[in-house]
Homo-oligomer: A and B are copies of this chain.
Amino acid sequence: MIVLYGFGGVGRTFAEVVYSRTNLKISAVFDSKGGAMKCGGFEKDEVKTLLKAPRGGVSELGVGARASLEEALRCAEVLVDASPPNYSNGEPAASAYRLALKSGLSVVTANKAPLALYFPEFEGKPVFYKATVMAGTPVVDLALGLREQRPLRIRGILNGTTNYILTRIDVDGLSFEEALGEAKAKGYVEPDPAIDLEGLDAAAKLAILANTLGARLTLGQVHREPLRYLGPRTKYVAEADLEAGNARVVPARLEPDDPLLLARYTTNAVEIATEVNLVRVFGKGAGRLETSLALLNDVVKALRACK
C-alpha cells in the first residue's frame, strides 16, 4: 500500500501509472488541503474520481475517509512524495519523511528539497530518490554504483527548462525574452521562476548527486548566478569540486568540442570524474511520465528491500 503525498501533475500521473501498469494500490492521497484514505486501497474507479478533483480538493470528494497523515501511515509500506519543493526548510515534506520512517515505512521521493537540505539525516535509511535528479534517467543509481570509487568532480546540465531556453537562443536564433516566453507557455517554468532561472533546481540536484557519491554538500553551499546568455555555446553549468568542497551553478560558454554540448533542449547531462573513471550520462531530465516511472521503479525497490 502506498501513501501518495502530493497530487499535482506528477502525483496524478503516478496514480494513473500505478493503476494502469501494476497490481499495487494507493491507500491514501494528500494534497495541500488534506487527505483521503482507504486502508485496503482505492479501487480503480475511486482513483478515477480522485483524478477529477480540483487542486486541493481530494478530501472534499467523499472518496475514502478524511485522514491525517499519521492515520494514513498505519495502512501502508511506502510514502511517495510528489509534493512541490520548499527550498527554505523542506517542509512539510521533511516532517512527513521523519514520521513515515519512524512508523517503519520507506520513503520514495521526487521532491528535491528535503534531501538537498538534510541529506545526512536521511542517509542509510530506506529513502529512495532517483526521481529527484534527471527524472527519467537514473543517474542516482549509477552514482550509487560508483560509491567505491573516490569521487573528484561533478559537472552537468541539470535543469531542463534553462537548457531549453539557451538551446532555443543558441541553435534556433530566438531572443532571450522569446525563448523564456515560449518555455513559460509550454509549462516548463516552475510557478516560482527563480527555482529554474536562479539555479535553485540545478543546485539542489548537484547537492543530491554529490552526497550520493559520498561527498558532503548542502544547497546553501552552492554558489549561484542567474541565467544569462553569454554568446554561442552558453550552457547553465552546475559543477562541484568534491575535493576542494566548492560548487556553483553559473552560465558559461563551453569550448566547441565540449561533450556537454550534446545536451540540447530539455536533455540533461552529467559528468562524474572519479579516481579511475570519467563517466558521462545524457538523457531526459523531466516529464511527468518519466518522473512517475522513476518513482514506480523506486517503489518496487523499496517493497523488496530489507526493513
In the assembly, what is the distance between CA of A259 and CA of B267, in Å? 14
Query: Which residues on the B side are within 8 Å of A276 (C-beta)?
Result: 136, 284, 287, 289-290, 293
Residues of B within 8 A of A147 (CB): 297, 300
CA distance A147 to B21 in the complex (A): 13
Task: For the complex, give the distance between the alpha carbons of A279 and B137 in Å.
Answer: 7
Q: Are B142 and A293 in contact (CB under 8 A)?
A: no
- Which residue of the partner chain, among B138, B148, B279, B280, contacts A145 with CB atoms under 8 Å? B138
Interface-central residue, A137, A141, A145, by most chain B CB under 10 Å = A145
* Residues 136-192 of A at the B interface (beta carbon under 8 Å): 136-142, 144-149
* Shortest CB distance A245–B (Å): 22
Minimal beta-carbon separation of A125 from chain B (angstroms): 13
A244 an interface residue at 8 Å Cβ cutoff? no
Give complex CA distance A145, B136 in Å.
Answer: 9
Q: Which of A220-279 contact B (CB under 8 A)?
A: 259, 262, 276-279
A56 nearest CB across to chain B (Å):
29
The CA-CA distance from A290 to B282 in the complex, in Å, is: 22
- Among A149, A284, A305, max chain B CB count under 10 A is at A149
Closest 8 CB pairs of A and B: A138-B145, A141-B145, A279-B283, A280-B282, A306-B306, A148-B293, A142-B142, A141-B141
List residues of chain A with CB under 8 Å of any chain B CB.
Answer: 21, 130, 136-142, 144-149, 259, 262, 276-284, 287, 289-290, 293-294, 296-297, 300, 304-306
